[in-house]
A and B are shown apart, each in its own frame.
Chain A
């Protein structure tokens, strides 16, 4: 075999792009997916991509999923790379989830809540049995019954009800005078403020956060969580244009919000009370919202004067490793050629082995 330079050329890359496009399309006898089908029928995948991709745009998220063959992490990457080129026209006012048009709202801490528990759309109480009827090409009429009366559109947060007694810490008010930290414009700063932590968690990989959250309840963290409230619904987004001076509504988004209640024994300065962890996502991402709220609370350890003993409480550890786009890039970059540093190491190992073999033969001679 003669020496052939094993280096990829331009043509190889172009051919590889053609091949992946062909692979993505799959069998041409099967009709091609369109963006609406993905957006409508793979709604939860779209919601995850929007949340971690940090753009609220179902169409783009669906397109990204189509382009990525359904790989959510790849789709999130595509959306982020698009987002980075967009101009920033305005910064919205904080959304008010108290005025949410609620579709689902549950509390695990009170049996009944003003406005009622609303189960809404959930897989929670389905039995995870494969429904073979879905494999057939029928289009059964899935229409859920509608309640006789609409829900009250002013549903205050459940855990505010504990506020009066001083049982739970007050919600941190957003400060209108200071801009919230923005990780997409500034590098991470440590120790991180809560705004920076929450933004990082909202963009963070669901699987990573789920694992970290899980660790806190299995002994690697001192959380005793209760779901104060989990709600899903639509909220309006408002901005205050500078030349107008008053707020105008620019649209409506679907969000999932989780208010987690955690026990706190108190310090000498602050008496015992419940503390909060907070989770918020675009669309319907309950698992993510719950995990986010748990990890948010765990990372508040230092601020609350608790010992920092576990990874979930270590903001530098969690924040540095939560982002799927960052993690994917760094882990997969080992696919890139490393001949230069590898051969530097080969040379070193040869030198070490020569010394080792010399030592062995010396020992054998003695």
Chain B
């Protein structure tokens, strides 16, 4: 865990947004939690970060964060990707809160494209950055139409889209941003996480909040709520599997990123969740010291310079 070295930025309110705006967003969050999966419009503010780069997630985090909180920010599962570093620095500057890379130490986790491998706990809040909150947008570009489809729970078009995949390929060829039905009522985009992560949303003990800045929508899944990935009785929902294990920590249960290692097509697979991978490597190293017969770990992960 790291205490921010700088004091909160001069001339700006704690967590950037003014208190009035935070109150509006918190009220929206309460409404969103009361109607799981329903997209609630909110007066999204213009942020000093570009739309599509996490403005919705930042506004949600800014509205709920307090001086005693510990924040973790990840992008693609990693704490050291540029945008995660940039957003973490933003909150260090405007709030001065403690930050961490350990999923279990954080009570607020802001994420883009992944859910940590470490299971979330009660009392934790995960904030998803969402580019397009409308799961039906690719089927129906008009907001006026999709709003009606949600009102009538008219989700046949999505089932047909999935069925078309089965008719064509024999399986559902949707790999990320895989549609879910929340609390058996609202069709919801899980944000562009790989479908590998969808099962982690089901009955999660954590509060799940979703912010879409450009589209000015907030939605939420309260703890222990059903989040079912759409499927068919004869084509049940499936997640990605790999033949390989992580080249660094040997995990066979985590989501793997493919990394190109040379210019001859050489590649290897490593955990996308850096905290999970580093923790496993540390544990293996400790176990290795205790027992010299254990094989050495492949390579140490690159640490970010501090």
Contact check, B51 vs A330: say whether CB atoms are below 8 A apart. yes
Known: A85-B16, A336-B53. A348 touches B175 (CB 8 A): yes
Task: Please determine whether A330 and B194 come into contact, CB atoms closer than 8 angstroms.
Answer: no
Are B258 and A346 in contact, with the CB atoms below 8 A? yes
Tell which of A109-117, A180-188, A252-260, A264-272 binds the partner.
A180-188
| Measured CA separation A339–B75 after assembly (Å) | 10
Whether A80 pairs with B46 at a CB distance below 8 angstroms is yes
B220 proximal to A (CB < 8 A): no
* Given A11-B304, A339-B76, 20 additional A-B pairs, CB 8 A: A9-B304, A11-B305, A12-B82, A83-B46, A84-B47, A85-B18, A87-B18, A187-B44, A328-B50, A330-B52, A336-B82, A338-B113, A340-B113, A340-B255, A340-B257, A341-B113, A341-B176, A344-B194, A346-B258, A347-B240
Whether a CB of chain B sits under 8 angstroms from the CB of A326 is: yes
A residues 316-359 near B (Cβ < 8 Å) are 316, 320, 325-326, 328-333, 336-341, 343-348, 352, 355
Q: Which residue of A lies closest to B257 (CB)?
A: A339
B78/A7 in contact, CB under 8 A: yes
Check if A191 is an interface residue, CB within 8 A of chain B: yes
Closest A residue by C-beta to B259 = A3
Would you call B263 and A1 a contact (CB within 8 A)?
A: yes
**Residues of chain B with a CB closer than 8 A to A189's CB:** 41
Knowing A185-B43, A330-B131, A333-B51, the reply to whether A7 touches B80 (Cβ < 8 A) is yes
Q: In the complex, A339 Cα to B270 Cα: how many Å? A: 12
Contact with B along A2-24 (1 / 0, CB 8 A): 11111111111100000000000
A-facing mask of B166-196, CB < 8 A → 1, else 0?
0001100101110000000000000011111
Q: Provide the bound-state CA to CA distance between A3 and B257, in Å.
A: 13
Q: For A161, list chain B residues within 8 Å (CB).
A: none
| Residue of B43, B52, B80, B131 with highest tally of chain A CB at under 10 A | B52
A274 on the interface (CB 8 Å rule)? no
Asked whether B95 is an interface residue with its Cβ less than 8 Å from the other chain, the reply is: no
Docked Cα-Cα span, A85 to B169, in Å, equals 51
Select one of B80, B195, B261 contacting A9, CB under 8 A. B80
How many chain B residues touch A (CB < 8 A): the figure is: 67
Residues in B whose Cβ lies below 8 Å from that of A5: 80, 259, 301-302
**Which of B53, B170, B195, B299 is within 8 Å of A344, CB to CB?**
B195
**Contact across chains for B214 and A343 when beta carbons are under 8 A apart:** no
A183 to chain B, nearest CB (A): 9
Partner-binding segment picked from B83-91, B156-164, B282-290: B83-91
List residues of A whose CB falls within 8 A of some B CB.
1-13, 77, 80-81, 83-85, 87, 184-191, 316, 320, 325-326, 328-333, 336-341, 343-348, 352, 355
Q: Which residues of A contact B98 (CB under 8 A)?
A: none
Inter-chain contacts of B76 with A (CB < 8 A): 337-340
**A6, B80: Cα distance in complex, Å:** 10
B77 at the interface (CB under 8 A from A): yes
B266 (CB) vs chain A CBs: closest residue: A1
Query: CB-CB < 8 A to A326: which residues of B?
Result: 51, 214
Give the Cβ gap from B213 to chain A, nearest Cβ, in Å: 8
Minimal Cβ-Cβ distance residue in A for B50: A329
Least Cβ–Cβ distance between B211 and chain A, in angstroms: 13
Cβ of B63 under 8 Å from chain A: no
- A84 touching B45 by the CB < 8 A rule? yes
The smallest C-beta distance from A20 to any residue of chain B, in angstroms, reads 14
B302 touches A348 (CB 8 A): no
Contact call A325/B52, Cβ cutoff below 8 A: no
Q: How far is the CB of A353 from chain B (nearest CB, A)?
A: 12
Q: Would you call A9 and B216 a contact (CB within 8 A)?
A: no
Asked, given contacts A10-B85, A10-B304, whether A325 binds B114 with beta carbons under 8 Å apart, the answer is no
Q: Does B204 contact A (CB under 8 A)?
A: no
Asked whether any CB of chain A lies closer than 8 Å to the CB of B233, the reply is no
Residue from B46, B77, B131, B196 within 8 A of A333 (CB atoms): B131
| B46 adjacent to A84 (CB under 8 Å) | yes
